């Protein structure tokens, strides 16, 4: 413990993040200056100790599994800086390539599948952490199998005034009203492009993540001044990022969209989806992924059941590939205890989980199994992730849990999940397959043909009855005529008999 304390103090004193080359050069320069000092022995001891502790620290630091990330570095970051600055620093470290790494391969048990594509584990990073696509590879290195950048707006915009993020640590929650600050599509695009030569050559992969078993998603946003009803910003986003993403996420998650009551808003949603799907279908096939991007909606957890049912109807009739459930909530559950709980904005983290889960279950029952759902909201452990799988999510995403637990969050969730699955003797895909089969919407049995349907049956009955009647009539006629001729015959014969007997 005290050794760790020392290591951390070392690190905090140095102004630059520790890198192996930095450690090396520091050791070299220290030993060269100390060689002229009075006590070479003492100097050597110090130098060795220093190198050792720094080296140890580096080992700890670079392994995302280390407890220092959860219990030391992340809390230090949280207490030292305001929420937004802490976030910025984290992005900068991950961007620099000096972030910690998940050193292990994902266990077979965690292998997941979405749209018939394999990914190595089900844990993704939700939108809003890397809004401008600065740290994509640093985030994949932490072990996320898929990373969603954005929201990206077409033009740069500043977002709301600060402070706009609030930590509610006692509640394991966050409130944010960022208002979608974005550097704009052009600058994010140039970053995504810049990744391509270096990584694409190295890793032969057919995903925009540029690594096997992973996916890259871009969350498309709208500029503040764009009209609410216009799909133009989303269409522009599809055109800009289509070739560079495996998945494009379109937000219908504003708590205002729920006003979907009434035909007008339903028409709006239908229109929006039709426009976005059309823009996607008109894209050329991406040279990176050899396909067109999937289109996924992201919805709010604050919808009523009737609204979810209505959205699902629209989705079923569109060519949307999946849904992320959910965004933050505008609710303030009574369990919240932090003084800042009444700040305006969207609430995320643990208190959001029951609401997201409920929305996900409701939607799962309204969409066919061919449309996968992604669970998001309050996930911070393996058990949370499994709960979402049982509710019918094919994959999950994390934001707030990652913010609180730091670099090792993804690795820890995966380890916990793996243990749970192992103890139950099952795998992630098996759990998902079973729950999706069981809980998803089934198309009603094919509509009966008119002849089979109720009205048809009666019609047919009447027809048959009429036919039967005419048969009977004809039979009656024949019987009648037969009887006549029979009578006549009998008359003749009996006459003959009578005549004969008389004679």
Ligand X SMILES: *[C@@H]1O[C@H](CO)[C@@H](O)[C@H](O)[C@H]1NC(C)=O
Residue list 92-151, contact with ligand X (CB under 6 A): 151
Under rule CB under 6 A, residue 300 binds ligand FMN: no
Under rule CB under 6 A, residue 328 binds ligand FMN: yes
User: Using CA atoms, how far apart are residues 180 and 138, in angstroms rounded to an integer?
Assistant: 22
Q: How many residues bind ligand FMN (CB under 6 A)?
A: 27
Instruction: Answer yes or no: are the C-beta atoms of 324 and 298 closer than 8 Å.
Output: yes
Under rule CB under 6 A, residue 346 binds ligand X: yes
Minimum Å distance from CB 338 to ligand X? 7
Which helix (H) or strand (E) covers residue 146, if one does? strand 146-152
Q: Peptide bond before 299: cis, by omega within 30 degrees of 0?
A: no
Q: How many residues bind ligand X (CB under 6 A)?
A: 22
Q: Which position among 31, 187, 254, 381 bears the catalytic label?
A: 254
Give the single-character DSSP code of 222: -
Among 216, 245, 248, 379, binds ligand FMN (CB under 6 A): 379
Alpha helices in 399-453 (DSSP H): 400-405, 409-423, 428-439
What is the CB neighbour count within 10 angstroms for residue 249? 28
Q: How far is CA 335 from CA 164, 351, 458, in A?
A: 22, 8, 60
When the beta carbons of 236 and 417 are compared against ligand X, the nearer one is 236
Under rule CB under 6 A, residue 328 binds ligand X: yes
Among 69, 70, 95, 298, binds ligand FMN (CB under 6 A): 298
Among 99, 143, 154, 378, binds ligand FMN (CB under 6 A): 378
Residues 143-162 vs ligand FMN: string with x where CB under 6 A? -------xx-----------
User: Using CA atoms, how far apart are residues 380 and 173, in angstroms rounded to an integer?
Assistant: 11
> How big is the chain, counted in residues?
503
384, two tokens = 């949370």
User: Using CA atoms, how far apart are residues 441 and 368, in angstroms rounded to an integer?
Assistant: 5
Minimum Å distance from CB 215 to ligand FMN? 16
When the beta carbons of 78 and 111 are compared against ligand X, the nearer one is 78
Instruction: Answer yes or no: are the C-beta atoms of 427 and 108 closer than 8 Å.
Output: yes
426 burial level (CB within 10 Å; 0-12, 13-18, 19+) = middle
Minimum Å distance from CB 68 to ligand FMN? 23
Residue list 236-295, contact with ligand X (CB under 6 A): 251, 253-257
Q: Which does 176 bind (CB under 5 to 8 A by kind): ligand FMN, ligand X, none?
A: ligand FMN
Under rule CB under 6 A, residue 174 binds ligand FMN: yes
When the beta carbons of 255 and 333 are compared against ligand X, the nearer one is 255
Q: How far is CA 82 from CA 139, 162, 332, 420, in A?
A: 22, 10, 22, 36
Under rule CB under 6 A, residue 243 binds ligand FMN: no
Residues with Cβ < 8 Å from 137, sequence gap 6 or more? Answer: 97, 195, 199
Among 99, 133, 143, 221, binds ligand X (CB under 6 A): 221
What is the CB neighbour count within 10 angstroms for residue 493? 10
Question: In this structure, what are the phi and psi dihedrals at residue 294, rounded to the nearest 5 degrees?
Answer: -75, 150
When the beta carbons of 245 and 376 are compared against ligand FMN, the nearer one is 376
User: Using CA atoms, how far apart are residues 494 and 487, in angstroms rounded to an integer?
Assistant: 10
Residues 102-141 vs ligand FMN: string with x where CB under 6 A? ------------------------xxx--x----------
Look up 120 and say whether it is catalytic: no
Question: In this structure, what are the phi and psi dihedrals at residue 329, rounded to the nearest 5 degrees?
Answer: -110, 150
Q: Which does 256 bind (CB under 5 to 8 A by kind): ligand X, ligand FMN, none?
A: ligand X
Binding segment for ligand FMN among 174-182, 259-267, 381-389, 415-423 (CB under 6 A)? 174-182
Minimum Å distance from CB 144 to ligand FMN? 13
Give the single-character DSSP code of 173: E
Alpha helices in 203-316 (DSSP H): 232-241, 262-281, 305-316
Residues that bind ligand X (CB under 6 A): 82, 151, 163, 166, 180, 221-222, 228, 251, 253-257, 298, 300, 327-328, 330, 339-340, 346
Catalytic residue ranges: 254
The footprint of ligand FMN (CB under 6 A) covers 126-128, 131, 150-151, 165, 174, 176, 178, 180, 219, 251, 298, 327-328, 348-349, 352, 376-379, 398-401
């Amino acid at each position: 413990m005290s050794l760790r304390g020392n290591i951390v103090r070392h690190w905090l004193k140095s102004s630059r993040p520790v890198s192996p080359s930095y450690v090396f050069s520091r050791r070299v320069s220290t030993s060269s200056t100390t060689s002229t000092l009075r006590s070479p022995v003492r100097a050597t001891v110090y130098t060795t100790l220093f190198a050792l502790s720094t080296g140890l620290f580096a080992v700890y630091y670079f392994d995302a599994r280390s407890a220092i990330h959860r219990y030391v570095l992340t809390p230090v970051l949280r207490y030292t800086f305001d929420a937004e600055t802490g976030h910025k620093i984290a992005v900068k470290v991950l961007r620099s390539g000096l972030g910690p790494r998940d050193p292990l391969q994902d266990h077979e048990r965690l292998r997941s599948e979405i749209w018939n594509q394999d990914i190595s584990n089900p844990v993704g990073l939700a939108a809003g952490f890397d809004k401008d696509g600065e740290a994509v590879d640093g985030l994949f290195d932490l072990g996320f199998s898929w990373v969603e950048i954005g929201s990206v707006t077409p033009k740069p915009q500043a977002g709301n005034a600060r402070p706009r993020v609030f930590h509610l640590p006692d509640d394991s929650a966050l409130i944010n009203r960022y208002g979608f600050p974005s550097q704009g599509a052009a600058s994010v695009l140039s970053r995504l492009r810049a990744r391509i030569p270096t990584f694409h050559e190295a890793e032969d992969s057919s995903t925009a993540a540029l690594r096997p078993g992973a996916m890259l998603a871009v969350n498309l946003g709208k500029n503040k001044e764009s009209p609410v009803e216009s799909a133009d910003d989303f269409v522009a986003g599809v055109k800009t990022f289509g070739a560079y993403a495996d998945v494009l996420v379109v937000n219908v998650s504003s708590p205002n969209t729920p006003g979907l009551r009434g035909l007008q808003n339903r028409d709006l949603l239908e229109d929006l989806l039709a426009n976005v799907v059309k823009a996607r279908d008109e894209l050329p096939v991406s040279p990176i992924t050899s396909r067109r991007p999937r289109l996924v909606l992201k919805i709010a957890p604050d919808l009523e059941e009737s609204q979810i049912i209505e959205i699902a109807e629209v989705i079923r009739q569109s060519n949307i590939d999946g849904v992320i459930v959910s965004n933050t909530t505008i609710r303030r559950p009574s369990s919240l205890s932090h003084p800042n709980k009444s700040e305006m904005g969207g609430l995320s983290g643990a208190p959001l989980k029951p609401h997201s889960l409920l929305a996900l279950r409701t939607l799962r029952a309204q969409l066919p199994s061919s449309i996968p759902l992604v669970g998001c909201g309050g996930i911070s452990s393996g058990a949370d992730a499994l709960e979402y799988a049982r509710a019918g999510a094919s994959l999950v995403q994390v934001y707030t849990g990652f913010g609180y637990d730091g670099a090792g969050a993804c690795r820890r969730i995966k380890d916990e999940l793996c243990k749970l699955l192992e103890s139950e003797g099952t795998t992630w895909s098996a759990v998902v397959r079973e729950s999706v089969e069981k809980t998803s919407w089934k198309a009603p049995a094919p509509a009966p043909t008119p002849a089979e349907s109720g009205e048809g049956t009666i019609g047919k009955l009447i027809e048959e009855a009429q036919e039967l009647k005419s048969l009977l009539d004809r039979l009656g006629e024949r019987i009648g005529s037969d009887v006549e001729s029979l009578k006549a015959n009998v008359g003749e014969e009996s006459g003959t008999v009578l005549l004969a007997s008389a004679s």
